[in-house]
Amino acid sequence: MNPEQQYIELFEQCEAMICKHSAEVLNAPRARAFADFKQLSFPTRKIEAYKYTDAAKLFAPDYGLNLNRLDIPVNPYDVFKCDVPNLSTALYFMVNDRFYGKALPKNNFPAGLLIGSLKELSTQYPDLLAKYYGKLGDTSKDAIVALNTMLAQDGLLLYVPKGMAVEKPIQLVNILRADVNFMVNRRVLIIIEDGAQARLLMCDHTMDKVDFLATQVIEVFVGAGATFDLYELEESTTSTTRFSNLYVHQEADSNVLVNGITLHNGTTRNTTHVTLAGQGAHIDLCGMAIADKHQHVDNNTFIDHAVNDCTSNELFKYVLDDSATGAFAGKVLVREGAQHTSSQQTNRNLCVTRQARMYTQPQLEIYADDVKCSHGATVGQLDESALFYMRQRGIGEKEARLLLMFAFVGEVIDTIRLDALRDRLHLLVDKRFRGEMGKCQGCTMCSGK
Amino acid sequence: MLEIKDLHASINGKEILKGINLTIRDGEVHALMGQNGAGKSTLSNVLVGHPAYEVTKGSIIFNGKDLLEMSPEDRAHEGIFLSFQHPVEIPGVSMVNFMRAAVNEQRKYRGQPLLTASEFLKLMREKRAIVELDGKLANRSVNEGFSGGEKKRNEIFQMAMLEPTFAILDETDSGLDVDALRIVAEGFNKLRTPETSALVITHYQRLLDYLKPDIVHVLLNGRIVKTGGPDLAQEIESRGFDWIKKEVNE
């Protein structure tokens, strides 16, 4: 049986149940997504964009789903004690794909800001959400996006109306929780209207030892002159497989920072698609991965300079130990007429052992003649002369290696525009390199666990 | 302090040192002179345990201990310091973190209590003054973007922080202007005590004018071929090395 078949049968049998436990806005694109899914196949390694992550193989096993929305008895506010000094975020939880709406914190957000369950809020604001939902995540191109659109029943909505500046950073902790091998299809919709400002930190955690397969589609609309920071931090387990598709659509003079950090994982594929649709839009797209054992991290990015005078800055760094594998593909498209584009891409990687493998592929496609574009990729080992210099000063080899690895990724952490988060990450990365983070022990953003 | 006997060493299978004998006593400063390729830097690298060099014969005893049995970091902890000919830039590692790690590892090895953050910063300030090094350096990455002179001053600053009993200065004078040379040399002299010794590798007399070595050696083709007092350095400055080569028929 091909790996698509079980999902086709599942949808045919359960469509009514899926729809019943979701909302009209999410149900609307399902039929189309299903038609697309039947046309497409899960990408295998024969597909260039998935050359290093065999999606078909990863979707083949049989996972349980919770389409009937049975309650999962866990109160994350009890399980996760968050008391990071100085990082006072507005804290929310999602257990699997379900936004945890009980015992919500009082955050005194200005009236008009919406944050909460995508399902609930799309029932309350169908017109607003229908305008945006599913408009970026193209189901005709990628079977995984089609599958997510077919099956997703809930997730998060963040809506920041025109001109509103949200001071307090918002934090969403995603928890994977199940007793059997389990599949989760989560959906996130973010709308930052003209001139608005917000910062969102999403932390991914796995609570249980079973195998998880989690798909996620994030659609982000950033209006003219708006500013948005998205930090994604994965601290899952070696038996977690994550497929995340992030779409960012930017209007004129908007400023976006995306920083995706894989601190601990199993198999991760992050696909990022950025469209700079209005003049003067700017994106900083950063990422970092620390992987060992047989962990696998694949970041596939695409930045579309659709109009003139936009700027993009890409910086990805990997540290691969043991038999870990990493992949980075960065495509930048400068369309005809997108003059005065400035685009910079850097991918630097450390392979600490001979067994670690890194595949990097920068790709520029330029159809305008007055542009400034650069890219650079390196794969290397730790600088032996620096190691020896440190040892001569009395710093032991192990400590010297740690200091050098820490320094290597420091550049990515320093792009974070939230002081407390930046400091916290320096600490977490230090712990990670010292092997004190062998498994997910709850929200390490929080010192309580 | 240091006793080198019949030391042979090679790199990539090529023998560079061909039987070095050298004894340095407490409080002595020895100068090692010689042309490029004579083996001066090889000797300093072997003394600090650089992994690229292989010792094929001979022994090095440091304060009664077999140096060749020790890792580079333990040699440092035992009190050996090398002022590098080419100090290495380490992007992303700040001078503060670098020195704190170095000082604390040394204290751990010696069973001394670790320094608190404020004790450490106070120490940094005191020692910086010895080589007139800018305070802003503390926040910069190790040697990154430092001028040639700053790098060499930074070496002596690190020496001041670690207080070695035996220092090797490998062409510390190269790339320095007259003022920087004076600052570096005077800084080194301030750190000298009757218990500390040094091996100074140089091509030129001008550094030795400041450091006033007790004994001068000439290294030629992997062997010490001539040893004398400070006047030997002056003679080399005016006559070069050829007369020594003729003397030893090489």
pLDDT reading at A35 higher than 60: yes
pLDDT of residue A416: 92
Q: Do A404 and B90 touch (CB under 8 A)?
A: yes
pLDDT of residue B17: 96
Confidence of residue A80 (pLDDT cuts 50, 70, 90): low
pLDDT of residue B132: 84
Name beta bridge partners: B215: B30
Asked if A430 has any chain B CB less than 8 Å from its own CB, the reply is no
Which residues make Cβ contacts (< 8 Å) with residue A5, sequence separation at least 6?
Answer: none
In this prediction, residues A418-429 reach a mean pLDDT of 88
Sign of CA dihedral A406, A410, A416, A417: positive
For chain A, the average pLDDT equals 92
A212 is a domain residue: yes
A409 is a domain residue: no
**Quick one: what percent of chain A has pLDDT higher than 90?**
81
pLDDT reading at B196 higher than 90: yes
**Quick one: what percent of chain B has pLDDT higher than 70?**
100
Confidence of residue A147 (pLDDT cuts 50, 70, 90): very high
pLDDT of residue A443: 47
pLDDT reading at A85 higher than 60: no
Candidates B105, B140, B154, B162, partner chain A, best to mutate (most A CBs within 10 A): B105
ipTM reported for the complex, 2 dp:
0.96
Q: For residue B80, give both structure tokens.
A: 């050996």
Strands of the sheet with A155-160, listed across from one edge:
A114-117, A155-160, A182-192, A212-222, A240-250, A267-276, A296-305, A325-334, A357-366
Q: Do B102 and A390 touch (CB under 8 A)?
A: yes
Count of the separate structural domains present in chain A: 1
Domain of residue A104, residue span? 1-38+55-235
Q: Please choose, from the candidates B154, B51, B144, B101, the residue with its C-alpha nearest in 3D space to the C-alpha of residue A402.
A: B101
Instruction: Measure the CA–CA gap between A305 and A173, rounded to whole angstroms.
Output: 32
**Residue numbers of A between 370 and 389 with CB closer than 8 Å to B:** 383, 385-386, 388-389
Chain A residues within 8 A of B101 when measuring between CB atoms: 390, 395, 399, 403
Asked if A434 has any chain B CB less than 8 Å from its own CB, the reply is no
A288 is a domain residue: no
A138 is a domain residue: yes
- Express each pLDDT in B51-84 by its tens digit: 999 999 999 999 999 999 999 999 999 999 999 9
Instruction: Measure the CA–CA gap between B198 and B156, rounded to whole angstroms.
Output: 13
- Express each pLDDT in B80-119 by its tens digit: 999 999 999 999 999 999 999 999 999 999 999 999 999 9
Q: If you search the block for the tokens 């796995």, which residue do you land on?
A: A206
pLDDT of residue A101: 82
A259 is a domain residue: no
Candidates A390, A399, A412, partner chain B, best to mutate (most B CBs within 10 A): A390
Confidence of residue B205 (pLDDT cuts 50, 70, 90): confident
Write out the E strands in chain B: 2-11, 14-24, 29-33, 53-62, 65-66, 80-83, 90-94, 141-142, 166-170, 197-201, 215-220, 223-228
Which is higher by pLDDT, A47 or A296?
A296
Q: Please state which of the ranges B66-75, B134-143, B219-228 shows the lowest mean pLDDT.
A: B134-143
Tell me the shortest Cα–Cα distance from A399 to chain B, in angstroms: 8
pLDDT reading at A367 higher than 90: yes
pLDDT of residue A446: 41
In this prediction, residues A70-75 reach a mean pLDDT of 75
Q: Please state which of the ranges A186-190, B158-162, B169-173 shows the lowest mean pLDDT.
A: B169-173
Q: Cβ distance B72 to A388 under 8 Å?
A: yes
- Express each pLDDT in A89-137 by its tens digit: 888 999 999 998 877 777 789 999 999 999 999 999 999 999 999 999 9
Confidence of residue B177 (pLDDT cuts 50, 70, 90): confident
* B209-243 as b/e: b if 16+ CB within 10 A: eebebbbbbbbbbbbbbbeeebebbebbeeeebee
Asked if A392 has any chain B CB less than 8 Å from its own CB, the reply is yes
Candidates B88, B106, B112, partner chain A, best to mutate (most A CBs within 10 A): B88
Q: Do A403 and B88 touch (CB under 8 A)?
A: no
pLDDT reading at A439 higher than 50: no
pLDDT reading at A444 higher than 80: no
Confidence of residue A81 (pLDDT cuts 50, 70, 90): low
Confidence of residue B248 (pLDDT cuts 50, 70, 90): confident
Give the A:B interface size as CB pairs under 8 Å.
74
A21 is a domain residue: yes
- Express each pLDDT in A315-360 by its tens digit: 999 999 999 999 999 999 999 999 999 999 999 999 999 999 999 9
Which residues make Cβ contacts (< 8 Å) with residue A367, sequence separation at least 6?
Answer: A334, A335, A336, A338
pLDDT of residue A281: 98
Tell me the shortest Cα–Cα distance from A427 to chain B, in angstroms: 14
**Residue numbers of B between 99 and 158 with CB closer than 8 Å to A:** 101-102, 105-106, 109, 141-142, 158
In this prediction, residues A378-387 reach a mean pLDDT of 94
pLDDT reading at B184 higher than 60: yes
Instruction: Measure the CA–CA gap between A447 and A85, rounded to whole angstroms.
Output: 9
Which is higher by pLDDT, A446 or A203?
A203
Q: What's the DSSP call for residue B202?
A: -
A28 is a domain residue: yes
- Express each pLDDT in A266-297 by its tens digit: 999 999 999 999 999 999 999 999 999 999 99
Q: Do B71 and A397 touch (CB under 8 A)?
A: yes
A316 is a domain residue: no
